[in-house]
Amino acid sequence: MPIVSPQRQPLPKGQLLINHQWRDASNGEILPIIDPTTEEVTTEVAKATVEDVNAAVEAAHRAFESGPWSRMHHEERAKILFRMADLIDERGADIGLRESMDMGMPYRDFMEIILPHCSGLFRFFAGQAMSAMNGSYRSSYESNVRILTRREPLGVVAAITPFNFPFALTCSKVAPALAAGNTVVHKPASDTPLSALALAQIALDAGLPEGVYNLVTGPGGSLGDALVKHPLVEKIAFTGSTGVGQNIIRNSADTLKHTTMELGGKAPHLIFADADLESALQAAFWGIFWNKGEVCVAGSRILVERSIYDEFVNRFAVMAKESVLGDPLDPATQIGPIANRKEYEKILGYIDSGKETARLVAGGSTQQINSKGYFIEATVFADATNDIKIAREEIFGPVVPLIPFDSEEEAIRIANDTPYGLAAGIQTSDIRRALRLADHLKAGTIWTDTWHKYHPNAPFGGYKMSGYGREQGTEALESYTQYKSVWLNLA
C-alpha cells in the first residue's frame, strides 16, 4: 500500500513522566521545539530540573525494589512488551509525524524501515525475556553440591539518546532493559524529544506498573550529568558523540556504573572494480545520504578502485545532483532538512573545508522551501585523501569524500586509518575477497554488497573510539543483566 503522509499540524505539549504521572517541570520552565523544515516552533516540552531527575530516579528505584516488575514472571513481562510492540505499530503514523517534524526524517523512511524495526525490537526482547532469563543448575567439585546460576536485572537504567533516529535508539535501549526486569529513566536529546513522549504514553497504556518507566526532557549538561552521577542509577545506556561518552565514563566512575557506549563513526565504503557498478552506486548513495547523512554508520568515506574511479565519480555526482531535497512529509523526498541550526552550520563549515582540500563535484550549497529550512544539498568531493579534515572527522551530514585506491592492501590500510570503528562496507562480486576483507576491517558491522541493514537479532556496536557494548541481539540483553550463583548443599 502506498504511504500517505499526514498533514503538518500543531503537536501536543509534552510533560515529564515521573512515577506514572504526567507533570510540568518543578520550576515550570519549558523548551520550545522547532521544526527544521519551517523553522517554526511546533510545540513545547517541559524543561526538567535536577530535582525532577532525582524524583524520576527515586520513583524508578522504588519500583525496582518493591516490584512487581523486577520480580514478575518473565512470561508476564513479555506479554506487556508484546502489547508495547502492537501499540507502536498502531500509533506509527503519529510517531512518524513527530519524527519528521522534530528532526526532518523522511516520513516514508520512518514508516518503511524504522517503525517495523522498533516494534520488532520489543517483540524480539519479549521473546528473549521468556527464553533467556531462566536460571540453570551447574555442577561443582562435590557431587552433592549444585550451583543454581540465576540471571537478574541490574536496577535503574538511565537511557540517554541522541537527536538522530530518536525513536529507534530509544527502543533499542528500553526494550532489552525492560525485558530483563530493570526500571528506566529516559532522557532524550533536547532537540528531538517528541517520539519519546509517544513511547512513554505507550508504556502506560500497555500496562507497565507504576514507576517502571520515567521520562525527563531537558538539557544533557545538567540532567545527563545528574543521571550519570546518581548513586541509585546502576547503568547508563548511552548513544551520542564520542566526547560526551568519554565525559559520561569519567563521571560515572565514582559510582562504578555499568555503561554501554554507542558513539561516533566514519565508516569506509570500499568499491572494487569487480562490483556490479549500478548496485554499488545505489549502496554508496543510500549509505551516505539516507536520513541526510545524520547517521552514525553513514558510509562517509567512499574508497574506489582507481580503474573505475573516474566513471564512479561522474555517475555518483549525477546521482547526487538529481537527488530530491524537500519536505520530509512529502513521499517523494529523499533528503530532508538537517535536524537543527547548530548542526546545519557545523556541516556548512565542513563543506567550506572540503572546498579548500578536494574537488567539489556535486552540491555544496543550501536550499530552502518558502525561504525556510535547514536544507543542504547532497555534496560530493572527489580526489580526496584520507588525511584531510572531511575524511577524518565525523561530519554527520550529506557530505562525502571519494578517495581512490590501487590495491586491496591499500584499501584496508585507508579504511582502518581512523579512530572510529562502527561500520564498514565492501562492494565486490568476489565472495572470497568480501570475507577476507571482513576479517581485516576493524568495525562492529560489515555490510557486503548492501548498506543500512538492521535486525533486532544482529548485535550492533563499535570498535575503537566508536564505543563498547552491543545493542540488539542476545548480547544486548546480557548487558542489562547480572548473574548470581546460589549454592545448594543436597547432602
Which one, 80 or 390, has the nearer CB to ligand NAP? Answer: 390
Closest separation between CB of residue 266 and ligand NAP, Å?
A: 9
Stretch that binds ligand NAP, among 43-51, 82-90, 159-167, 305-313 (CB under 6 A): 159-167
224 binds ligand NAP (CB under 6 A): yes
Cα separations (Å) of 138 from 148, 150, 295, 474? 6, 11, 44, 21
262 binds ligand NAP (CB under 6 A): yes
422 binds ligand NAP (CB under 6 A): yes
Closest separation between CB of residue 471 and ligand NAP, Å?
A: 7
293 binds ligand NAP (CB under 6 A): no
12-35 b/e (C-beta count within 10 Å ≥ 16 → b)? eebbbbbbbeeebbbeeebbebbb
Query: Which residue do the cell numbers 576479517 mark?
Result: 439
282 binds ligand NAP (CB under 6 A): no
167 binds ligand NAP (CB under 6 A): no
Q: Which positions are catalytic? A: 262, 296
Q: Which residues contact 310 (CB under 8 A, 6 or more apart)?
A: none
241 exposed, middle or buried (CB, 10 Å; 0-12, 13-18, 19+)? middle
Query: Which residue do the cell numbers 574508497 mark?
Result: 303
244 binds ligand NAP (CB under 6 A): yes
C-alpha cell of residue 243:
566526547
249-282 b/e (C-beta count within 10 Å ≥ 16 → b)? bebbeeeebbbbbbbbbbbbbbbbbebeeeebbe
Closest separation between CB of residue 444 and ligand NAP, Å?
A: 8
190 binds ligand NAP (CB under 6 A): yes
Which one, 6 or 419, has the nearer CB to ligand NAP? Answer: 419
d(CA 240, CA 442): 20
5 binds ligand NAP (CB under 6 A): no
300 binds ligand NAP (CB under 6 A): no
Stretch that binds ligand NAP, among 120-128, 219-227, 344-352, 445-453 (CB under 6 A): 219-227
Which one, 240 or 401, has the nearer CB to ligand NAP? Answer: 240
Which one, 11 or 267, has the nearer CB to ligand NAP? Answer: 267
Stretch that binds ligand NAP, among 40-48, 261-269, 344-352, 445-453 (CB under 6 A): 261-269
> 195 with 71: CB under 8 angstroms?
no
Q: Indicate which single residue of 14, 153, 211, 220 sits in contact with ligand NAP (rule: CB under 6 A).
A: 220
Residues in contact with ligand NAP, counted by CB under 6 A, come to a total of 33
- The DSSP code sequence of 172-195 is HHHHHHHHTT-EEEEE--TT--HH
Stretch that binds ligand NAP, among 3-11, 71-79, 175-183, 462-470 (CB under 6 A): 462-470
- The DSSP code sequence of 5-73 is PPPP-----B-EEETTEEE--TT--EEEEE-TTT-SEEEEEE---HHHHHHHHHHHHHHHHH-SGGGS-
The three state secondary structure string of 466-481 is CEECCECHHHHHHCCE
Q: Indicate which single residue of 55, 59, 185, 263 sits in contact with ligand NAP (rule: CB under 6 A).
A: 263
Q: Indicate which single residue of 176, 299, 425, 462 sits in contact with ligand NAP (rule: CB under 6 A).
A: 462
Closest separation between CB of residue 294 and ligand NAP, Å?
A: 8
Coil, strand or helix: which one is 135? coil
463 binds ligand NAP (CB under 6 A): no
Closest separation between CB of residue 224 and ligand NAP, Å?
A: 2
Q: Indicate which single residue of 54, 241, 357, 450 sits in contact with ligand NAP (rule: CB under 6 A).
A: 241
For residue 210, which phi and psi values (nearest 5 degrees)?
A: -55, 130
Q: Which amino acid is at 96?
A: G
Which one, 77 or 98, has the nearer CB to ligand NAP? Answer: 98
Q: Which amino acid is at 46?
A: A
Q: Indicate which single residue of 42, 70, 161, 182 sits in contact with ligand NAP (rule: CB under 6 A).
A: 161
Coil, strand or helix: which one is 448? strand
Which one, 179 or 244, has the nearer CB to ligand NAP? Answer: 244
Among residue numbers 86 through 145, which ones bind ligand NAP (CB under 6 A)?
none
C-alpha cell of residue 483:
548473574
For residue 447, which phi and psi values (nearest 5 degrees)?
A: -105, 130
Query: Which residue do the cell numbers 526538567 mark?
Result: 48
Among residue numbers 359 through 398, which ones bind ligand NAP (CB under 6 A)?
394, 396
Interacting residues toward ligand NAP by CB under 6 A: 160-165, 169, 187, 189-190, 219-221, 224-225, 228, 239-241, 244, 247-248, 262-265, 296, 394, 396, 422, 462, 466-467
